[in-house]
Amino acid sequence: MIRRASERLGNRALLKAGRAEDLPFEDNEFDLVLFINTLEFLEDPLSALKEAGRVAKRSVFIGVTNSLSWYFLYTKVQSLLHKPFFDHFAFFNLWQLKSYIREAYGSVPVQWRCSHIRTPLLERMGTFVSEQWHPERCPFGSFLGLCVPLRYTLRTIQQPLTVGLGKAKPSVVEGMTMRKAQRNRRPSGNERSLPV
């Protein structure tokens, strides 16, 4: 996938292979981190979410296949009839993801929506949803997307401090130079020479 993306993007993007649980990037390096059908294939989704929070400055977006959808049931039936692609695929629902998010980032607001990909069976049956009802707010849609704005209690600023500094004490070299200048200065009639 890295090779294909490199062919497509050329020098317009820096592409690196890595593990979601241990990303090869600095703290707060990106504004946004995206998980699009990624958590489904990870052994430890919580570690990946924590790592995403480390490299993201503003927010983390999570997109998963919903375990409470008709699409999930359809794929389960398909896996019984055909070669099971989805056996290595973990499905999530809204409440599971909110629990992971709370554990990874604490109490943060979560915005979510669902999209509805209809299976052929449902296409034949027709839709039972009226136009006035908004299906994207129903937690049973096929694809579940969550946006998590990150809130930091402590955030590092990677810029040097330029204001608020007082005058520093003289350096050792400056002190030695001043002593030498005092020794070389000749005292006038009223001044007494003090040993240095």
The pLDDT profile of the chain, 196 residues, written as one tens digit per residue, is 889 999 999 889 888 888 999 999 999 999 999 999 999 989 999 999 999 999 999 999 999 988 887 777 777 777 777 766 666 778 899 999 999 999 999 999 999 998 865 544 444 444 444 444 455 567 787 889 999 999 876 556 666 666 666 666 666 666 666 666 666 665 555 555 555 5
Burial 57-72 (b: 16+ CB within 10 A, else e): eebbbbbbbbbbbbbb
Tokens 């979601």 belong to 20
**pLDDT at residue 91, rounded to an integer:** 85
**pLDDT at residue 154, rounded to an integer:** 57
Architecture of domain 2-149 in this structure: 3-Layer(aba) Sandwich (3.40)
Find out whether 56 and 152 touch, Cβ atoms under 8 Å.
no
Q: What does the DSSP assignment read for 70-123?
A: HHHHHHHHHHHHS--GGGG---B-HHHHHHHHHHHH-S---EEEEE----HHHH
**pLDDT at residue 8, rounded to an integer:** 92
Phi, psi (degrees; rounded to nearest 5) at 61: -110, 135
| C-alpha torsion angle, residues 174, 179, 182, 183 (rounded to 10) | -140
Q: Six-digit token pair at 35?
A: 């998980």
